[in-house]
Structure 1
Amino acid sequence: MNLAEAIIKKNVEKHPLKSAIGFKKKDGGWKELSWQKFSEVIFKTANALKDLGIELNDKVAIYADNSAEWMIFDLAVLSIGAITVPIYSTNNTEQAEFILNDSGAKSVLVGSQAQYDSCLEILKKESTGLKTIIISKKAVWIKKEFSSFYLEDFIAKSSPKFEFSEKNEDDTATIIYTSGTTGNPKGVILPHGNFVKLCDAHFEFFKFKNFEDEISLAFLPLTHVFERSWTLLCLYGGARVYFLEDPKDIAKALVEVKPSMMCVVPRFLQKVYAGVLEKADEGSSLKKKIFNWALEIGNQTAEFKRKDQTIPLGLKCKEKVADLLVFSKIKEKLGGRLWFIPCGGASLSPEVTHFFESIDIHVTVGYGLTETTATLTAFPPTNFEHGSCGKPLPGVEIRIGEHDEIQAKGNGIMKGYYKRPEETEKVFTQDGWFKTGDAGKFDDKGNLFITDRIKDLMKTSNGKYIAPQMIENLLTNNNFIQQIVLIAEGKQFVSALIVPNFEFLNDYLKKKNIPFTNWEDIVQKKEIIDFYKEKINELQKHLSDFEKVKKFTLMPAEFEISSGEITPTLKIKRNIVLKKYSDIIEKMY
């Protein structure tokens, strides 16, 4: 059950000339490779790796941004029975060195000059097992005397003829190092069978029709289990995948590629949602009426679809008008064809999912971890529950354990943490259930609801428990709030560090004729603090009094990966932020 073979073989046999992948050319246009060409490049890369001396179960790393080369290299490594070790492109030299040394990777694919320079520095050390650096782009300047090869040259003389290495379902396919909010990352061991079984489970669960006609845009990091699993699933089902190298170009790429599917994190949807509401609010009274009417029609229609019921003819006609006047304009900004969006990585407010359902884009909220090969649960196509994380996929079992902890068994569960038996033992119960570290509950219809990360639950000095993710998620639904960290543990009330969305705040300054000096001054201005106070009070008005943010401090800059304040998956390292800004926090009390 070689994962690469399961993806490549059937698609090459079924439709060799159909486009498999797309990527940006130097001139800015998009180029596609057919399944035949795609497989040939993978096989040439696989043969070149074998000629290099990469053998069964050797570790090969990828330290690069998203690209077609990323996926080609990954599938080539898997094809020869070696093990892929992804490294976040945003990791620094020290972080990359830890993963390369801990995994024992013999070779690495890099994409940028900075990544190459980091790996060259590591390769020169006697303590490392790294022997070869392969570079995906010729724009990078290299030193060939240090076993450095451009990918194009590396595979030039290789044969496109290839036989897959046989693999059992329990054989390791990849070791993914969790970004970790504390300490060094741990290598999660995921076997070939996890991916194949979960691909089959997704198709059984969603009952996709004509999946081969779908187009996905990969813009989240392929290093993360979510985008990688989703992209592998798309390729497994014969869909076409375009790779976006710079996520900052997402708005342009959506219009150019016109994807029908793509996986996202909640912040992407929150920004679209808040942006649409902001624009509608700025319109004339007539435009506001039309927008609100269309949204109401959309909500009514979405409810019939959610319940898998026939939509009345009159409502269908109204929906067509609503789409013509309002929804089509929103959807055009997203490419015009998008209809299915898997979303994971953090919680998402039901207001946001309701909105996207109303404009006829189905957001499938899911729940999973790196340790579970991504998806454990997801919204089914119909009869899902807004605010939940959906229902378990086929082959996945979930129970609620001690302290309301979500525990899982079945398809997708990791083999363990690489070279860390003690850490592995900690996250499994004696009867073999994986402990997620998340608290949750099931409703009477079998929908899973996440209440919070167990270790993140906060207890105020008044004995009240606060679930920070829910409140943080609620507040970041507003376009003026980019990041937020709640503080409550041991305190008499809830406070927060808030990073404004500087782009929207800058527009607000211009509208109000407030002169810009620098962000340090701006976030301390009384009129700006009052503006945010009004926004926050409006957003949290339905919360219980003990849950409400009573005081906050506006931060003059975003929390950054480079400073260690957030992980490469943009999760805030709460303990680091709390320690770093302890003086600011104490002033609020």
Structure 2
Amino acid sequence: MKTTPQYLLENLKNFPKEPALSIKDKNGNWNTDNWEQFYHEVLTVAKSFLSCGVQKNDKISIYSYNRKEWNICYAAAQFVNAVAVGVYHTCSSEEVEWVVGNSDSKIIFVGHNPGDNDEKEKMPNHRLFACLGNLEKVKKVVVLNGVEKLDNSKFISWNDFISLGNEIKDNQVLDITQNLELEDTSSLIYTSGTTGNPKGVELTYKNWSFLMKGLLTFLKFNQSEKIISWLPGAHVFGQALDNHYWVRR
């Protein structure tokens, strides 16, 4: 039995030119990456992780609405045996401070909130900025394209972050990916927090494989068939479909 990143490597081998992920731009046009293109984007981010000293079980938070970079960063974290932590794009400063701080995340990717109505207090970058002084373990805040990079030494643009991995060799990443084990932690998913602060639940690749076995009894999509990303990436079933089932099918 393989881990999800190892399935992605199989897709690269078996379906390199087949569509992997499509995103609609602001003009309503669909831009599609094939598996080869998606793999190289993941590998590029994974190299930057290694250049930043990311090690096994280090936490990587993704604080954004669904977008292509969500999938890329999630997969890249797993390629280097780090742990992806989804943060809802609607989280307040207090909520994001709790999740990022409780998880001991070292790197945070910050995207957008389509419901911000141009109000800064609803924008993830401003919400994180307000509490960043309390998050000493955060080393870098990577601002995704289209999001304002605020004045803090920890903030870095997407393009500048990508360039950090230029000296890292492919095999430095792939040696880790190819040796992932089912008991390795894949992601940390936080509960809703209805009875107190949200609690982080560790999910291993074995946990995801068990869930995939159940999903495959009634979700019978095949390679090249389309799935719409609807649930937030921070949601457990959103991750199940968009980051695991999608790759394994």
TM-score, scaled to structure 1: 0.38
Aligned residues of 1:62 and 1:70 also touching (Cα < 8 A): yes
CA separation in 2, counterparts of 1:143 and 1:181?
A: 32
CA deviations on 1:40-73 (whole Å, 9 max, x unpaired) are 0000000001111111110111110001100100
Q: Which residue does 2:144 correspond to in 1?
A: 136
Letter in 2 for 1:195: W
Structure 1 residues 91 and 211, CA gap change in structure 2 (3 angstroms): same
Letter in 1 for 2:245: L
Task: Report whether the alignment pairs 1:185 with 2:198.
Answer: yes
The alpha carbon displacement at 1:145 in A equals: 4.8
Structure 1 residues 2 and 131, CA gap change in structure 2 (3 angstroms): farther
Q: Which residue does 2:160 correspond to in 1?
A: 153
Listed as ranges, the matches of 1:165-180 within 5 Å are: 165=176, 166-180=179-193
The alpha carbon displacement at 1:164 in A equals: 4.9
Letter in 2 for 1:118: R
Letter in 2 for 1:216: I
Q: Which residue does 1:225 correspond to in 2?
A: 236
Structure 1 residues 32 and 156, CA gap change in structure 2 (3 angstroms): farther
Aligned residues of 1:135 and 1:148 also touching (Cα < 8 A): yes
The alpha carbon displacement at 1:213 in A equals: 2.9
Higher RCO (C-alpha under 8 Å, 6+ residues apart): 2
CA deviations on 1:165-205 (whole Å, 9 max, x unpaired) are 233222211111111322111111111111133324433x2
Secondary structure at the aligned position of 2:159 is classed as: helix
Structure 1 residues 122 and 136, CA gap change in structure 2 (3 angstroms): same
CA deviations on 1:467-521 (whole Å, 9 max, x unpaired) are xxxxxxxxxxxxxxxxxxxxxxxxxxxxxxxxxxxxxxxxxxxxxxxxxxxxxxx
CA separation in 2, counterparts of 1:51 and 1:103?
A: 21
Q: Which residue does 1:276 correspond to in 2?
A: none
The alpha carbon displacement at 1:9 in A equals: 0.9
Q: CA RMSD in A?
A: 2.1
Paired residue total: 233
Structure 1 residues 2 and 57, CA gap change in structure 2 (3 angstroms): farther
Aligned residues of 1:116 and 1:133 also touching (Cα < 8 A): no
| Equivalent of residue 123 in structure 1, options 117, 129, 132 | 132
Secondary structure at the aligned position of 1:176 is classed as: strand
In structure 1, runs of 5+ residues without a counterpart are 238-589
| Equivalent of residue 225 in structure 2, options 209, 214, 219 | 214
Q: Which residue does 2:117 correspond to in 1?
A: none
Aligned residues of 1:85 and 1:175 also touching (Cα < 8 A): yes
Structure 1 residues 9 and 129, CA gap change in structure 2 (3 angstroms): same
Q: Which residue does 1:352 correspond to in 2?
A: none
CA separation in 2, counterparts of 1:122 and 1:183?
A: 20
Letter in 2 for 1:121: A
CA deviations on 1:352-375 (whole Å, 9 max, x unpaired) are xxxxxxxxxxxxxxxxxxxxxxxx
Q: Which residue does 1:55 correspond to in 2?
A: 55
The alpha carbon displacement at 1:135 in A equals: 1.4
Letter in 1 for 2:141: I
Listed as ranges, the matches of 1:407-446 within 5 Å are: none
CA separation in 2, counterparts of 1:95 and 1:77?
A: 22
Tell me which structure has the larger Cα radius of gyration: 1
TM-score, scaled to structure 2: 0.86
Structure 1 residues 229 and 69, CA gap change in structure 2 (3 angstroms): same
Q: Which residue does 1:263 correspond to in 2?
A: none
The alpha carbon displacement at 1:207 in A equals: 8.1
